[in-house]
Amino acid sequence: MFAYEALVRGQDGCGAGQVFEQVTDDNLYAFDQKCRKTAIEHASRLDLGETGSLLSINFLPNAVYDPKACIRLTLETAKKTGFPLSQIMFEFTEVERISVPHLLNILNTYRRLGFLTAIDDFGAGYAGLDLLSRFQPDVVKLDAELIREIDSSSVKQTIVRHVVSMLEQLGIIVVAEGIETEGEFSCLYDLGIDLMQGWLFAKPGFESLPGVLWPQALVKPDNSRSA
């Protein structure tokens, strides 16, 4: 398992959308900090640090007023729980309109502190290639809409093939998101994507580390790649 992504869910199991409806400008910072702290505490309690897998935490760039100040709680929580900083990856979605210079300051600060960084939902947002030309994260996660039914779309296959080639040349790890069918998996595998995320492999678990569902039909002969 390459990484586990910490997801936001309500106490009654409601989805992220209902939770974010309660987030305002006044509580945005507190919400972002609470999410980081809770993710690390749960990951430590579940011994994720012992597995060597990454803990992927989404952060809200607009909630970060000063990267060095806003990262203090994260550092304190990791130290208190004993969770390795080298196994924490911060990802942000480019669908939130943000100031690129502000975002670059955050990402460069996190990198200097030893955290891995990732762009989530790549190909669906505002920043795109302009941001990528200024900062090369450790990981880029291709947007699920680009992946959906890719096995039946030659246009999507052409786009993904060239995006993967570009990212590999930049030394960036590629993750495909939202895989739900064996057809999508096989197509992405043939396009050279090693890392995949989606309900085909595992569904989210509440305060748990779900095991990977790996049907025999998805095992490739050379076993050289894993999802």
The percent of residues in the chain predicted with pLDDT above 70, rounded, is 90
Most confident of 94-98, 153-157, 218-222: 153-157
pLDDT exceeds cutoff 90 at 57: yes
pTM: 0.88
Q: CA dist 58 to 33, 94, 169, 215, Å? A: 11, 11, 25, 29
The CATH code of the domain at 3-218 is 3.20.20.450
Report how far apart the first and last C-alpha atoms of the chain are (Å, whole number): 7
Domain ranges of the chain: 3-218
* Catalytic residue status for 96: no
**Exactly one of 5, 91, 94, 177 is catalytic; which is it?**
177
Residue with the bigger pLDDT between 9 and 219: it is 9
Angle 2-186-95 from CA coordinates, rounded to 5°: 60
